[in-house]
Protein backbone atom coordinates (compact mmCIF):
# COMPACT_ATOMS: atom_id res chain seq x y z
CA UNK A 1 0.00 0.00 0.00
CA UNK A 2 1.29 3.45 -0.90
CA UNK A 3 0.60 6.81 0.67
CA UNK A 4 -0.39 9.47 -1.89
CA UNK A 5 0.37 12.97 -0.56
CA UNK A 6 -2.08 12.86 2.30
CA UNK A 7 -5.20 12.07 0.27
CA UNK A 8 -5.52 8.61 1.74
CA UNK A 9 -3.43 5.45 1.78
CA UNK A 10 -4.13 3.50 -1.38
CA UNK A 11 -2.93 0.92 -3.80
CA UNK A 12 -1.53 2.74 -6.83
CA UNK A 13 -4.19 1.76 -9.37
CA UNK A 14 -3.85 4.99 -11.35
CA UNK A 15 -0.86 7.33 -10.97
CA UNK A 16 -2.11 10.80 -10.09
CA UNK A 17 -0.69 14.28 -9.65
CA UNK A 18 -1.75 16.75 -6.93
CA UNK A 19 -3.81 19.67 -8.20
CA UNK A 20 -3.70 22.70 -5.89
CA UNK A 21 -6.66 24.71 -4.70
CA UNK A 22 -7.61 27.66 -6.86
CA UNK A 23 -10.36 29.48 -8.66
CA UNK A 24 -11.44 30.27 -12.19
CA UNK A 25 -14.24 31.85 -14.19
CA UNK A 26 -16.43 29.32 -16.01
CA UNK A 27 -18.14 30.74 -19.09
CA UNK A 28 -21.49 29.56 -20.47
CA UNK A 29 -21.61 30.43 -24.17
CA UNK A 30 -25.35 29.75 -24.55
CA UNK A 31 -26.43 32.14 -21.81
CA UNK A 32 -23.45 34.46 -22.38
CA UNK A 33 -22.78 34.38 -18.66
CA UNK A 34 -19.90 33.39 -16.40
CA UNK A 35 -19.55 32.23 -12.82
CA UNK A 36 -16.69 32.22 -10.37
CA UNK A 37 -15.72 28.76 -9.07
CA UNK A 38 -13.51 28.11 -6.04
CA UNK A 39 -11.85 24.69 -5.99
CA UNK A 40 -10.43 22.56 -3.20
CA UNK A 41 -7.25 20.58 -3.88
CA UNK A 42 -7.68 17.13 -5.42
CA UNK A 43 -5.73 14.56 -7.38
CA UNK A 44 -5.97 13.96 -11.12
CA UNK A 45 -4.76 11.19 -13.37
CA UNK A 46 -1.24 11.91 -14.59
CA UNK A 47 -2.40 10.70 -18.01
CA UNK A 48 -5.59 9.73 -19.72
CA UNK A 49 -6.66 6.27 -18.55
CA UNK A 50 -4.77 3.71 -20.63
CA UNK A 51 -5.73 0.32 -21.99
CA UNK A 52 -3.27 -1.20 -19.50
CA UNK A 53 -4.95 0.52 -16.53
CA UNK A 54 -8.40 -0.34 -17.84
CA UNK A 55 -7.47 -4.01 -18.28
CA UNK A 56 -5.70 -4.22 -14.93
CA UNK A 57 -8.98 -3.37 -13.21
CA UNK A 58 -11.24 -5.41 -15.46
CA UNK A 59 -9.14 -8.54 -16.08
CA UNK A 60 -5.86 -8.17 -14.24
CA UNK A 61 -4.00 -8.31 -17.57
CA UNK A 62 -1.89 -5.27 -18.51
CA UNK A 63 -0.38 -6.65 -21.71
CA UNK A 64 -1.29 -5.69 -25.26
CA UNK A 65 0.07 -3.74 -28.19
CA UNK A 66 -1.92 -0.62 -27.27
CA UNK A 67 -1.25 -0.82 -23.51
CA UNK A 68 0.09 2.74 -23.26
CA UNK A 69 -2.58 4.33 -25.46
CA UNK A 70 -5.68 5.95 -23.94
CA UNK A 71 -8.55 3.51 -23.69
CA UNK A 72 -11.25 4.30 -26.26
CA UNK A 73 -14.05 4.28 -27.22
CA UNK A 74 -15.50 4.47 -23.72
CA UNK A 75 -19.03 5.51 -22.80
CA UNK A 76 -19.69 7.74 -19.81
CA UNK A 77 -21.38 4.82 -18.07
CA UNK A 78 -18.36 2.60 -18.80
CA UNK A 79 -16.11 5.17 -17.14
CA UNK A 80 -18.37 5.48 -14.09
CA UNK A 81 -18.47 1.72 -13.50
CA UNK A 82 -14.71 1.42 -14.01
CA UNK A 83 -14.07 4.16 -11.46
CA UNK A 84 -16.06 2.29 -8.83
CA UNK A 85 -14.25 -0.96 -9.64
CA UNK A 86 -10.87 0.77 -9.39
CA UNK A 87 -11.86 2.31 -6.06
CA UNK A 88 -12.76 -1.10 -4.63
CA UNK A 89 -9.40 -2.54 -5.71
CA UNK A 90 -7.58 0.45 -4.20
CA UNK A 91 -9.40 0.22 -0.88
CA UNK A 92 -11.15 3.54 -1.42
CA UNK A 93 -14.79 4.46 -0.96
CA UNK A 94 -16.56 4.30 -4.35
CA UNK A 95 -17.68 7.74 -5.46
CA UNK A 96 -20.82 6.67 -7.31
CA UNK A 97 -24.12 5.00 -6.54
CA UNK A 98 -25.55 3.53 -9.71
CA UNK A 99 -29.13 2.42 -10.32
CA UNK A 100 -29.55 1.73 -14.01
CA UNK A 101 -29.15 5.06 -15.77
CA UNK A 102 -29.40 7.01 -12.51
CA UNK A 103 -25.98 7.89 -11.10
CA UNK A 104 -25.27 9.99 -8.02
CA UNK A 105 -21.88 11.24 -6.83
CA UNK A 106 -21.02 11.50 -3.15
CA UNK A 107 -18.53 14.36 -2.95
CA UNK A 108 -17.32 13.07 0.41
CA UNK A 109 -16.10 9.76 -1.02
CA UNK A 110 -12.35 9.44 -1.62
CA UNK A 111 -12.57 7.02 -4.56
CA UNK A 112 -11.77 7.43 -8.22
CA UNK A 113 -14.23 9.50 -10.21
CA UNK A 114 -14.58 11.72 -13.25
CA UNK A 115 -13.48 15.33 -12.71
CA UNK A 116 -16.03 18.09 -12.75
CA UNK A 117 -15.69 20.49 -15.66
CA UNK A 118 -14.28 23.13 -13.34
CA UNK A 119 -11.69 20.71 -11.98
CA UNK A 120 -10.77 19.64 -15.49
CA UNK A 121 -10.34 23.20 -16.80
CA UNK A 122 -8.37 24.35 -13.76
CA UNK A 123 -6.06 21.36 -14.09
CA UNK A 124 -5.71 21.83 -17.86
CA UNK A 125 -4.80 25.50 -17.56
CA UNK A 126 -2.26 24.84 -14.80
CA UNK A 127 -1.97 28.51 -13.95
CA UNK A 128 -2.09 29.79 -17.53
CA UNK A 129 -4.79 31.99 -19.02
CA UNK A 130 -4.51 31.46 -22.76
CA UNK A 131 -6.25 29.03 -25.08
CA UNK A 132 -3.89 26.24 -24.01
CA UNK A 133 -0.87 25.75 -21.77
CA UNK A 134 1.65 25.82 -24.61
CA UNK A 135 1.96 25.79 -28.42
CA UNK A 136 -0.45 23.20 -29.79
CA UNK A 137 2.17 21.30 -31.75
CA UNK A 138 4.34 20.95 -28.65
CA UNK A 139 1.75 19.75 -26.14
CA UNK A 140 -1.02 17.93 -28.00
CA UNK A 141 -1.82 15.27 -30.58
CA UNK A 142 -4.27 16.94 -32.95
CA UNK A 143 -5.20 17.17 -36.63
CA UNK A 144 -2.02 19.19 -37.15
CA UNK A 145 0.02 16.02 -36.54
CA UNK A 146 -1.71 14.04 -39.27
CA UNK A 147 -2.09 10.92 -37.08
CA UNK A 148 -4.89 8.42 -37.58
CA UNK A 149 -5.70 7.53 -34.00
CA UNK A 150 -4.70 8.22 -30.40
CA UNK A 151 -1.02 8.05 -29.54
CA UNK A 152 0.69 6.56 -26.46
CA UNK A 153 0.15 8.82 -23.47
CA UNK A 154 2.83 11.20 -22.18
CA UNK A 155 4.44 11.49 -25.61
CA UNK A 156 4.51 15.27 -25.39
CA UNK A 157 5.43 17.52 -22.44
CA UNK A 158 3.21 17.79 -19.37
CA UNK A 159 1.71 21.04 -18.14
CA UNK A 160 2.97 22.79 -15.02
CA UNK A 161 0.79 20.61 -12.78
CA UNK A 162 2.45 17.49 -14.19
CA UNK A 163 -0.54 16.27 -16.23
CA UNK A 164 0.00 14.99 -19.77
CA UNK A 165 -2.29 15.25 -22.82
CA UNK A 166 -4.79 17.57 -21.18
CA UNK A 167 -5.29 18.89 -24.70
CA UNK A 168 -5.64 16.52 -27.65
CA UNK A 169 -5.25 12.75 -28.10
CA UNK A 170 -8.79 11.82 -26.93
CA UNK A 171 -11.71 13.81 -25.59
CA UNK A 172 -12.28 13.23 -21.87
CA UNK A 173 -15.59 12.64 -20.12
CA UNK A 174 -16.42 14.91 -17.18
CA UNK A 175 -19.01 14.42 -14.46
CA UNK A 176 -21.25 17.37 -15.34
CA UNK A 177 -24.29 17.44 -17.57
CA UNK A 178 -23.68 19.36 -20.79
CA UNK A 179 -26.89 21.40 -20.44
CA UNK A 180 -29.93 19.95 -18.65
CA UNK A 181 -32.22 22.49 -20.35
CA UNK A 182 -31.24 21.80 -23.93
CA UNK A 183 -29.55 18.41 -24.20
CA UNK A 184 -31.31 16.15 -21.70
CA UNK A 185 -28.92 13.70 -20.08
CA UNK A 186 -25.91 14.48 -22.29
CA UNK A 187 -22.64 14.69 -20.34
CA UNK A 188 -19.70 16.99 -20.96
CA UNK A 189 -16.49 16.25 -22.82
CA UNK A 190 -13.31 18.29 -22.68
CA UNK A 191 -9.89 18.61 -24.30
CA UNK A 192 -10.16 17.78 -27.98
CA UNK A 193 -8.85 14.73 -29.81
CA UNK A 194 -6.30 13.56 -32.35
CA UNK A 195 -8.48 14.53 -35.33
CA UNK A 196 -9.55 17.97 -34.07
CA UNK A 197 -8.44 21.30 -35.47
CA UNK A 198 -6.84 23.93 -33.25
CA UNK A 199 -10.12 25.72 -32.47
CA UNK A 200 -11.40 22.56 -30.74
CA UNK A 201 -8.17 21.91 -28.85
CA UNK A 202 -8.49 24.62 -26.21
CA UNK A 203 -8.92 24.59 -22.45
CA UNK A 204 -12.31 26.31 -22.63
CA UNK A 205 -13.94 24.23 -25.38
CA UNK A 206 -16.68 21.83 -24.36
CA UNK A 207 -18.62 19.19 -26.21
CA UNK A 208 -21.45 16.96 -25.05
CA UNK A 209 -22.80 13.53 -25.88
CA UNK A 210 -25.17 10.87 -24.60
CA UNK A 211 -23.75 8.92 -21.66
CA UNK A 212 -24.14 5.65 -23.58
CA UNK A 213 -22.70 6.96 -26.86
CA UNK A 214 -19.80 4.98 -28.33
CA UNK A 215 -17.44 7.56 -29.85
CA UNK A 216 -14.09 6.57 -31.31
CA UNK A 217 -12.28 9.69 -30.10
CA UNK A 218 -13.51 9.60 -26.49
CA UNK A 219 -11.75 8.32 -23.38
CA UNK A 220 -11.42 9.61 -19.82
CA UNK A 221 -9.08 10.65 -17.01
CA UNK A 222 -9.79 10.07 -13.33
CA UNK A 223 -9.89 12.44 -10.41
CA UNK A 224 -9.59 11.37 -6.79
CA UNK A 225 -10.13 12.91 -3.38
CA UNK A 226 -13.01 13.87 -1.13
CA UNK A 227 -14.05 17.44 -1.87
CA UNK A 228 -17.13 17.82 0.34
CA UNK A 229 -19.03 16.35 3.24
CA UNK A 230 -20.45 12.85 2.83
CA UNK A 231 -23.83 12.97 1.15
CA UNK A 232 -23.43 16.50 -0.20
CA UNK A 233 -24.65 16.93 -3.79
CA UNK A 234 -22.58 19.98 -4.69
CA UNK A 235 -18.81 20.37 -5.09
CA UNK A 236 -16.06 21.77 -7.29
CA UNK A 237 -18.29 23.94 -9.44
CA UNK A 238 -21.10 21.38 -9.79
CA UNK A 239 -24.46 21.36 -8.03
CA UNK A 240 -27.40 18.98 -8.35
CA UNK A 241 -29.71 21.85 -7.40
CA UNK A 242 -28.29 23.98 -10.23
CA UNK A 243 -28.88 21.11 -12.67
CA UNK A 244 -32.54 21.01 -11.61
CA UNK A 245 -32.99 24.77 -11.89
CA UNK A 246 -31.44 24.83 -15.34
CA UNK A 247 -33.76 22.08 -16.58
CA UNK A 248 -36.88 23.83 -15.24
CA UNK A 249 -37.94 25.66 -18.40
CA UNK A 250 -41.17 27.62 -18.11
CA UNK A 251 -43.15 28.80 -21.10
CA UNK A 252 -42.60 27.81 -24.74
CA UNK A 253 -39.75 25.38 -25.32
CA UNK A 254 -37.30 26.26 -28.10
CA UNK A 255 -37.39 23.84 -31.02
CA UNK A 256 -35.12 20.86 -30.48
CA UNK A 257 -34.60 21.40 -26.76
CA UNK A 258 -35.08 18.33 -24.52
CA UNK A 259 -35.04 19.36 -20.84
CA UNK A 260 -34.03 16.65 -18.41
CA UNK A 261 -37.05 15.83 -16.26
CA UNK A 262 -35.88 13.01 -13.98
CA UNK A 263 -33.58 15.05 -11.73
- Coil, helix or strand for 229? coil
Q: What is the Cα–Cα distance from 92 to 261, expressed in whole angstroms?
A: 32
Q: What is the Cα–Cα distance from 19 to 126, expressed in whole angstroms?
A: 9
- Print pLDDT tens along the chain (263 aa): 344 443 444 467 899 999 999 999 988 877 777 899 999 999 999 999 999 999 999 987 777 768 999 999 999 999 999 999 999 999 999 999 999 999 999 999 999 999 999 999 999 999 999 999 999 999 999 999 999 999 999 999 999 999 999 999 999 999 999 999 999 999 999 999 999 999 999 999 999 999 999 999 999 999 999 999 888 889 999 999 999 999 999 889 999 999 998 88
> Are the C-beta atoms of 22 and 30 separated by less than 8 Å?
no
Domains of the chain: 2-232 (3.90.1580.10)
Q: What is the Cα–Cα distance from 185 to 82, expressed in whole angstroms?
A: 20
> Are the C-beta atoms of 193 and 74 separated by less than 8 Å?
no
Q: What is the pLDDT of residue 11?
A: 67
Does the pTM of the predicted model rise above 0.85? yes
Amino acid sequence: MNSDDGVGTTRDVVPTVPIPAGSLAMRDARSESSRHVVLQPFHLGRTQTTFAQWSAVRTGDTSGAAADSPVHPVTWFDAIHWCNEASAIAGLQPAYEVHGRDVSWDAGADGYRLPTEAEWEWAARAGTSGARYGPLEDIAWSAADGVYGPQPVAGKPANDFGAFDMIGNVWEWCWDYADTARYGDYRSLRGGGWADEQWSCRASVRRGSAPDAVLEDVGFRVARGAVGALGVQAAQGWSAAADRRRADIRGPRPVGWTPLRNL
